[in-house]
A and B are shown apart, each in its own frame.
Chain A
Amino acid sequence: MTNTIKVNKLKFSYGKKQVLREVNFEVQSGKVVGLIGENGAGKTTLLKILLGLLKTNSNVSILGHRPGTSQSVSSMFQGDLKLPSVNVLEILSEVAAQYPNPRKPQAVLEELNLADLARQRLNGLSGGQLRRITFAMTLVGNADLIFLDEPTVGMDVNARQDFWDNVSKLKNAGKTILITSHYLEEIQQTADQILILKDGKIEFDGTLNELQRRYLTTKISFETKLSKTIFAELKHVQSLKQMGEKIVINSTNGDATLQTLVPYLKELQHLNITDASLESIFQTITQKGENNA
């Protein structure tokens, strides 16, 4: 398999502020990659570098070329185009014209159930509609590599479901997709590869299974009138959070922790035990960093 994205010892700073310290990763063709990180971790900066919008001397290769020189890359940024004198079909035609092998704009609109918006001006669309049109702009180029930056912000539940169905179709068509999103449960269902960016470095690069094995957390939640301090003595507790009567524990050994909870079982309601989700692992990683700091 060829490497669609190859990043080696990437460093970047805005003036004196170092945003990316030494980023290394590779993405193979046809994979869906979830890039996650806290606000301010450097995700958008990394995306801009990969798209060639920010220049760097580091060794970065996109589809075998320097960033910004390949004609088979498309992206969906966080902001939406809201040009006043342009309708949906016109902006899609304009975007399609930039690519060597585009799809027909009308066909893309029909696929996304947006055909009735074809003649509407961009500045007359709702936020959610605009977001879906922006996704349509990403598809119309028929690019081999697609970057999606917070793609589902502003979409309702049905639109988000449609969106992820379309991402699956793109994946099946062999496209390489890099997604940043704060909706971690959505990335968890689709991504082949997870990249966690923390403090300007890649904290983790691998599959979700590898991530779960490394962090080995089980999430145990329940409601109780007992004080949080009682549960602080439990074994293998990575983190403990209390929200009113609800207590959430991340444990590195779920079985061992549960055994130590047995004496308190009568005082616990709505006991819930789940394997580590991407969200809980992310919280663990970011809290670990805060604890170390």
Chain B
Amino acid sequence: MHKMLEQLKFDGKRLIFRNYGFVFFSLLMPTAFYVLFTQINKGQIEMFSAEYMGSMIVYSILITAIMGVGNFMERDRNQGLITLLKITNRNLNHYYISICFWSLMMNIFTIIILGATAILINHVDLSVEQWFILLGLVLVGQLPLLLLGIAISNVKRQETLTILGNLITFPVAILSGLW
């Protein structure tokens, strides 16, 4: 238990509180897009504000899982942190559980920020049940994306990872109508 708590404490600082990439790409950028496009389309499409909030939440999760977590784990591998943990642990379960936990937290944080923006600026009004359904869908839906991010973190070169991340993220975002 102590090992798990220490791992969570260690990764929480790195993934959330000192992760400026997350703040910019997963929070500020989707929020800015949301405000921009909802103001442009104001009143033109009913329920657009609420639906577009959902799109930007999914987009943020995609960026976090593929580009964020993928890069993060690749750097840990290349810097030798994974090797260091392997020497003493028989497996890396604590590490992976910690990464998944904080990814979940990052996504919950995204929902809070985007949700608050949607309520304050566009007066989006969802019922409590709808908010919980949104939360549940995000928590379940993030899992395959997180697995994809973990999978691509195993590439050897950082440049390859960036290309792969872009090749996955942007076609998925465009084809699934997030933008």
Q: Which residues on A are within 8 Å of B, measured CB to CB?
A: 51-53, 68-69, 71, 73-75, 77, 79-83, 85-86, 90, 93-95, 97-99, 137, 141
Given known pairs A77-B80, A83-B75, A97-B6, the reply for A52 and B14 (CB within 8 Å) is: no
Are B13 and A90 touching (Cβ within 8 A)?
yes
Are B81 and A53 touching (Cβ within 8 A)?
no
Q: State A69–B18 Cα separation when bound (angstroms).
A: 33
Are B84 and A81 touching (Cβ within 8 A)?
yes
Are B79 and A141 touching (Cβ within 8 A)?
no
When C-beta atoms are compared, the residue in chain A nearest to B76 turns out to be A83
When C-beta atoms are compared, the residue in chain B nearest to A93 turns out to be B6
Q: Is B157 an interface residue (CB 8 A)?
A: no
**Contact sample, A vs B, 26 pairs, CB 8 Å cutoff:** A52-B86, A52-B87, A53-B87, A68-B86, A68-B90, A73-B87, A73-B88, A74-B87, A80-B80, A81-B80, A81-B81, A83-B14, A83-B76, A83-B81, A85-B13, A85-B14, A86-B10, A90-B13, A93-B10, A95-B84, A97-B2, A98-B3, A98-B85, A98-B89, A99-B88, A137-B84
Q: State A89–B75 Cα separation when bound (angstroms).
A: 20
Contacts of B76 in A (CB 8 A): 83
The 3 closest A-B pairs by CB, nearest first: A97-B6, A85-B18, A98-B88
Q: State A90–B7 Cα separation when bound (angstroms).
A: 11
Chain A, interface SS category? loop
Residues 72-105 of chain B, each 1 if its beta carbon lies under 8 Å from chain A, else 0: 0001100111011111111000000000000000
Are B86 and A94 touching (Cβ within 8 A)?
no
Are A97 and B7 touching (Cβ within 8 A)?
yes
Contacts of A51 in B (CB 8 A): 87
* Contact of B79 (CB < 8 Å), options: A75, A82, A95: A82
Least CB distance from B152 to A in Å reads: 20
Are B87 and A90 touching (Cβ within 8 A)?
no
